[in-house]
Amino acid sequence: MNKSRRDFLKKLPLAMSIPFTIGGIPLRVLAENSSWSRMAAASNNDRVLIILQMHGGNDGLNCLIPVERYDEYYSRRANIAIPAKNSVRKYIPLDSTITSDAQVGLHPDMQAMKGLYDIGRLTVVQGVSYKNNNGSHFRGRDIWFMGGSADEYLQSGWVGRYLQGEFAPEKYPEDFPNNDMPDPLAIEMGNDVSLIFHQQGSIPTSVSLNDPESFAELVGELEGFIDEEVDPRGLPPQYLEGSPYYKELDWILGLEDKSKDYAERLYEVYLAGGQTSITYPETYPFNAPNGSLRNPLTPQLKLIARLLAGGCKTKVFMVKIGGFDTHADQVEKYDTTMGGHAALMYHISTAMNAFQEDLRARGQEDRVLSVTTSEFGRRIQSNGSFGTDHGTGGPLFIFGKGANPGVVGTVPDLSQSNVEMQFDYRLVYGNIMKDWMLVDDTRLNDIFPGLMTAEGTSDGVTFAPLPLAQQLITGTEGFIGDRFSLKDCYPNPAKGKTTVHFMVNSYYQVTVNLMNNEGVQVKTLVDGMYEPGEHKIEVALDGLPAGSYVYQMKTGYYKEAKKLIIIH
């Protein structure tokens, strides 16, 4: 080994000692030693998947409150229950148009998520779990990440297997990155490299520093890069070939070139993405335990939007938010709508709402779908410490323009100890991979072993289609129109008065303004808060000249206008 390489290896720990960060956010850049990548041209779409990990086991019943079975819900967890009425802060009815057994209310700090639902950017899936769920943090997380059954111990993860099938084998690291695929295939925020991204025999890599500019400077100072012409990349001894040691040493020796390439590329796309025009949430505005006030998702999601806007081709990202292991003090004793869990609901709702706005403003919204994961739900019965203990099933959330909006599944059976499984987690992710990432059946069977066979997985789960994501984004006008609408007023033509008829799907401020044929507002016909459902409001038209007018309804994100003729 020559002096330059020895100097590089001496400095290598500095480049790996702290997580690689961009904009202050730690990243893990994931790659694989023999078959992690191929030319991106062979990938048949530019779609991106974001996995939002809710670390600790989310209490689904306090973010999706059962409407028709509220009394039973309250009796099982009176000391933490979210109010249904007679409170300034009460649950937010999600959708009055769906069947009664599926109707839920959102936690009052999930108003931003309600807004996403109303514009067709949110899908809710109830009762997601797996057979023989034992409520273990570590084992449960491994099962969700490996994509197998409770009795399996796979050494690879389902996203890793997807990437392996999506990108055909290339010699790594010599041939990767390349002009067609200059970016990591997966980026994980934080300090850990999760099983979800692993392939058999893979060696994930992390490179680190506080920001891309500083990282690029450090790597550029490594002597191995200065004298590249006289210091070609070393190779492991031939007698190690075929052994795990050969693969690992080959990876270490190749890290020199790859670190430089990633540093320069990620810094380049980071700069190209530019600052966002969208205001992201920073803090929780109410009372919460120390450490819960700042929104940890904001910098992670803001960074992803910027990288994508700058041209980053990474296929899968993972963002993380912790604090869901709420055995005690899940709520404030004086107000069950506030506390640590409330802050988490606020952080997710507001950050995802800002992220969607950012993607839209940057022209990236058609590319990105986000889905949550959490190792288990919480028990139906609360405990005496104003908290909840480890359970089994819980809800998942899917965000994005490509989501197939609505509620999938029904309210849990509240007479049980745990939220029972309605959908195996592999069905949820399998449908997303099939419909959003456009994976064919053969490859889907590799990602989730046995899922596409007649016999099913090792615990008997077989694929079934679920309406979770759109293969072809067709718009959400029908979804919105079924829940918000301005009907024809009656009579029309009108003399002296008419009745304005509209429907809303939330407690919303509704304004209906009347404008003349020059677009000038001449009268406000309706202005107030209205509960979900249809409303008919008689309005006076006295003093207005005869002629043609337009009346326009505004509520939340929804706008609609119709024509009105006034006669004398």
**Using CB atoms within 10 A of its CB, is residue 340 exposed (0-12), middle (13-18) or buried (19+)?**
buried
State the pLDDT confidence band at 560, using cuts at 50, 70 and 90: very high
| CATH (domain of 504) | 2.60.40.2550
Q: Are both 451 and 540 inside the same structural domain?
A: no
State the pLDDT confidence band at 477, using cuts at 50, 70 and 90: confident
Q: Are both 258 and 317 inside the same structural domain?
A: yes
Q: Of the candidates 433, 462, 477, which is a domain's last residue? A: 477
Q: Are both 455 and 554 inside the same structural domain?
A: no
Q: Are both 462 and 505 inside the same structural domain?
A: no
Enter the pTM of the model.
0.87
pLDDT above 90: residue 54: yes
Residues spanned by the domain of 491: 484-566
Q: Are both 274 and 374 inside the same structural domain?
A: yes
- Give me the number of domains the chain comprises: 2
Helix extents (H) in 182-240: 212-221, 223-226
Q: Are both 298 and 397 inside the same structural domain?
A: yes
Q: Are both 306 and 334 inside the same structural domain?
A: yes
Q: Are both 22 and 68 inside the same structural domain?
A: yes
Tokens (6 digits) for 428: 């949820």
| pLDDT tens figures, 378-396 | 999 999 999 999 999 999 9
- Give the three-class secondary structure for 565: strand
Helix extents (H) in 416-503: 425-435, 441-447, 477-481
Q: Are both 425 and 490 inside the same structural domain?
A: no
Contacts of residue 499, Cβ cutoff 8 Å, sequence gap at least 6: 489, 490, 536, 537, 538, 539
State the pLDDT confidence band at 59, using cuts at 50, 70 and 90: very high
Q: Are both 447 and 507 inside the same structural domain?
A: no
- Closest to 506 measured CA to CA, from 528, 522, 529: 529
Q: Are both 441 and 524 inside the same structural domain?
A: no
| pLDDT tens figures, 255-265 | 555 666 666 78
Q: Of the candidates 426, 448, 477, which is a domain's last residue? A: 477
Q: Are both 388 and 348 inside the same structural domain?
A: yes
Distance CA 317, CA 325 (A): 23
| pLDDT tens figures, 120-143 | 999 999 999 999 998 999 999 999
Q: Of the candidates 449, 477, 505, which is a domain's last residue? A: 477
